[in-house]
Amino acid sequence: FRAAMPNRLMLAITTGALALSVNAAPLTRDNGAPVGNNQNSQTAGPNGPTLLQDVQLIQKLQRFDRERIPERVVHARGTGAHGEFTATEDISDLTLAKVFEKGSTTPVFVRFSTVVHGLHSPETLRDPRGFATKFYTADGNWDLVGNNFPTFFIRDAIKFPDMVHSFKPDPRSNLDDDSRRFDFLSHHPESTRTLTLLYSNQGTPASYRMMDGNGVHAYKLVNDEGQVHYVKFRWKTLQGLKNLDPKENEAMQGKDYSHLSRDLITSIEKGDYPKWDLMIQVLKPEDLAKFDFDPLDATKIWPDVPERKIGQMVLNKNPQNIFQETEQVAMAPANLVPGIEPSEDRLLQGRLFAYADTQLHRVGTNGLSLPINRPKVDVNNGNQDGAMNFGQTTSGVNYQPSRRENREETPRAVYSKLELSGTTQQAPIQRQQNFKQAGELYRSFTAKEKTDLVNTLGGELAHTDDEAKHIMLSFFYKADAEYGERLTKVAKADLKRVQALAADLED
Give me the residues that bind ligand HEM (CB under 6 A), please.
Answer: 72-75, 78, 111, 113, 130, 132, 145-147, 152, 157, 160, 216, 298, 329-331, 347, 350-351, 354-355, 358-359, 362
147 as an active site residue: the answer is: yes
HSE of 397, CA atoms in CB hemisphere, 13 A: 10
Options 141, 147, 201, 214, the catalytic residue: 147
Least spacing, CB of residue 150 vs ligand HEM, in Å: 9
Residues in contact with 237: Cβ distance below 8 Å, sequence separation at least 6, in sequence order: 209, 210, 211, 212, 274, 276
- Nearer residue to ligand HEM within complex by CB, 233 or 445: 233
State the residue number with the nearest CB to ligand HEM. 130
Residues in contact with 355: Cβ distance below 8 Å, sequence separation at least 6, in sequence order: 145, 330, 331, 332, 333, 334
Least spacing, CB of residue 374 vs ligand HEM, in Å: 16
- Nearer residue to ligand HEM within complex by CB, 275 or 362: 362
- Nearer residue to ligand HEM within complex by CB, 248 or 341: 341
- Nearer residue to ligand HEM within complex by CB, 117 or 478: 117
Helix (H) and strand (E) counts in the chain: 13, 10
E strand map for 295-411 = 307-317, 340-342
**Distance (Å, rounded) from C-alpha 302 to C-alpha 218?**
10
Q: By three-state DSSP, how is residue 169 classified? A: coil
187 as an active site residue: the answer is: no
- Cβ burial of 255 (10 Å; 0-12, 13-18, 19+) is exposed
- Nearer residue to ligand HEM within complex by CB, 241 or 354: 354
The answer to whether 123 and 257 have CB atoms below 8 angstroms apart is: yes
**Angle 286-354-374 (CA atoms, 0-180°, nearest 5)?**
95
**Distance (Å, rounded) from C-alpha 317 to C-alpha 322?**
12
397 DSSP 8-state letter: -
- Nearer residue to ligand HEM within complex by CB, 131 or 291: 131
**b/e sequence 202-234, b meaning 16+ C-beta within 10 Å:** bbbbbbbbbbbbbbbbbbbbbbeeeebbbbbbb
What is the residue type of 351?
A: R
Options 75, 117, 188, 259, the catalytic residue: 75
- Nearer residue to ligand HEM within complex by CB, 207 or 373: 373
Which of 349, 371, 367, 350 lies closest to 109, judged by CA? 371
Least spacing, CB of residue 159 vs ligand HEM, in Å: 8
Which of 309, 102, 92 lies closest to 222, judged by CA? 92
Where in the sequence numbering do the catalytic residues fall?
75, 147
